[in-house]
Amino acid sequence: MKPIRVLLAVTVAGFVAGFSAVVISAASYVSDPFPVSSSAGRSVFTYNGLLVSYPYYEVGPEATMVGASIILIVGAVALGACLWSRRAH
């Protein structure tokens, strides 16, 4: 397997791992509400038949992992385009 394809596979794996981390973080956020309070001033939602509320959701370092993987994917493909030659293929 050529090194450029290995690099591309690693970056795609990083992207998938980062996106999976985002999904896991969102799932844990949704499953951990706090009871609704009359003085909270927040939006009210239903969770398992109960009225609950949530703090504002902020994506953590998982988004940075996904973003860095996006940049690396572009870099790997650009490097492959630079190194490609008709003679080698």
Partner 1 sequence: MTSDFDPRFDPAFQRGFDRSDNTPTTGELPAPQRPAVEREVIEPVEFSSAEIRFGVVERIDTRGNPWLRCLWVIAAAFIVVGVAGQWIAQNLFSTGASSGSVISSYVIPSVLQSLSPWFLVGGLIAVIAAVTINAVRWRPPRP
> Which residues here bind partner 1, judged by CB under 8 A?
22, 26, 29-30, 33, 43, 45-47, 54, 56-59, 63, 66-67, 70-71, 73-75, 77-78, 80-82, 84-87
CB of residue 77 vs partner 1: minimum separation in angstroms? 5
By C-beta, is 39 or 51 nearer to partner 1?
Answer: 51
CB of residue 45 vs partner 1: minimum separation in angstroms? 5
Asked if 45 and 52 count as a contact pair (C-beta separation under 8 A), the reply is yes
**Phi then psi for 63, rounded to 5 degrees?**
-65, -35
The alpha carbon dihedral of 20, 44, 33, 54 has a sign of: positive
Cα–Cα distance for residue pair 85/39, rounded to 1 Å? 67
CB of residue 39 vs partner 1: minimum separation in angstroms? 18
